[in-house]
Amino acid sequence: MNKQNLTINQLYQKANQIRKDIILTLENAGSGHSAGPLGLADIFSALYFRILNYDSSNPKWEDRDRLFVSNGHVAPVWYVTLSHAGFFPNAELLTLRKLNSRLQGHPNRLDTPGVENTSGPLGQGLSQAVGSALAGRMDKKTYRVFCITSDGEHDEGQTWEAIMLASKEKLNNLTVIVDRNNIQIDGYTEKVMPLDSLKEKYEAFNWHVIEIDGHNIEEFIDACHKARAIFEKPVCIIAHTIPGKGVDFMEFKPEWHGKPPNKDEAQKALEQLRTLDGKIVYD
């Protein structure tokens, strides 16, 4: 297993390096999504270097934990983290969105080592994760299933069908992580289709809900540990994140949902992120 059990400080430093690599990767590609990937760097750092059980030399290891990423447009943070975790060389990140690359704009499980689900159309990943969790229980497996979803995906009816099925089947091996960053491609979520109170909605469907600051790695790890202690229902972690986290001209701005930095913007972003090197990012 490759879980490295990094210290909290090391996890923040890893997240900062992931953010820098996201900027470099997107600038080189000339297309892609910036805000969501930057906002999820802390969570991905914690997942791959503290929470998940996996073997990067054997991505299809039968007893691995499964991570489904339903909001496939955040692929840059997934690819960068997978490269840091040893699934493929870091240099391959510069092939993002190139012809014949294994790293396309939306992930393809048949091409990319470590990618559990093909995604693109929003709202499908949770259904896939529910199926995997149900299969694991039927096969008497001990692996856990995690699914990252966007808040905007909760506009999709299929998401709620999956939420209902997970509750009916009492899938206590399933943990959903909602990236509650309050933006989507058309603007702010609460203007497009209000979601609050999202916690109360999940609870009404008989889920156990934990709300956290998605940039507080200790809170997130603690929530994942608590999820393992819930035996009678699935768990939803609502992680409040800042889209574009770490780059002041991207933070909270919906226009950066699906836009990459140009050369000058990338340089400014990297300068800001480099000031965090050697420091604890969250205070």
DSSP structure string for 88-152: S-GGGGGGTT-TT-S--SS--TTTSTT------STT-HHHHHHHHHHHHHHTT----EEEEEESG
Q: What pLDDT is attached to residue 279?
A: 67
Cβ(180)–Cβ(238) below 8 Å: yes
- Whether the per-residue pLDDT at 35 is higher than 90: the answer is yes
> pLDDT exceeding 90 applies to what percent of the chain?
91
Q: How confident is the model at residue 229 (pLDDT cuts 50, 70, 90)?
A: very high
Q: What mean pLDDT comes out for the span 49-64?
A: 97
- Whether the per-residue pLDDT at 118 is higher than 80: the answer is yes
**pTM of the shown model:** 0.96
Inter-CA distances, 13 with 19, 73, 282, Å = 10, 24, 10
Q: How confident is the model at residue 120 (pLDDT cuts 50, 70, 90)?
A: confident
Q: What pLDDT is attached to residue 19?
A: 98
- Give dist(CA 90, CA 87) in Å, integer: 9
Q: What pLDDT is attached to residue 172?
A: 97
- Whether the per-residue pLDDT at 143 is higher than 60: the answer is yes
Q: How confident is the model at residue 103 (pLDDT cuts 50, 70, 90)?
A: very high
> pLDDT exceeding 70 applies to what percent of the chain?
97
From the CB of residue 3, how many other CB atoms can be counted at a distance below 10 Å?
16
Q: What mean pLDDT comes out for the span 49-78?
A: 97
Q: What pLDDT is attached to residue 276?
A: 85
- Give dist(CA 207, CA 193) in Å, integer: 22
In this structure, of 121-125, 128-132, 135-139, 204-208, the range with the lowest mean pLDDT score is 121-125
Burial code (b: 16+ CB inside 10 Å, e: under 16) for 140-161 equals ebebbbbbbbbbbbbbbeebee
Residue-wise pLDDT for 173-213, tens only, equals: 999 999 999 988 888 989 999 999 999 999 999 999 999 99
Q: How confident is the model at residue 2 (pLDDT cuts 50, 70, 90)?
A: low
Inter-CA distances, 39 with 128, 150, 191, 249, 273, Å = 23, 11, 20, 13, 13
Q: What mean pLDDT comes out for the span 30-41?
A: 96
Inter-CA distances, 96 with 28, 39, 50, 150, Å = 8, 19, 26, 22
- List of E strands, the chain: 66-69, 145-150, 174-180, 183-184, 187-188, 208-213, 235-240
Fold of 8-274: Rossmann fold (3.40.50)
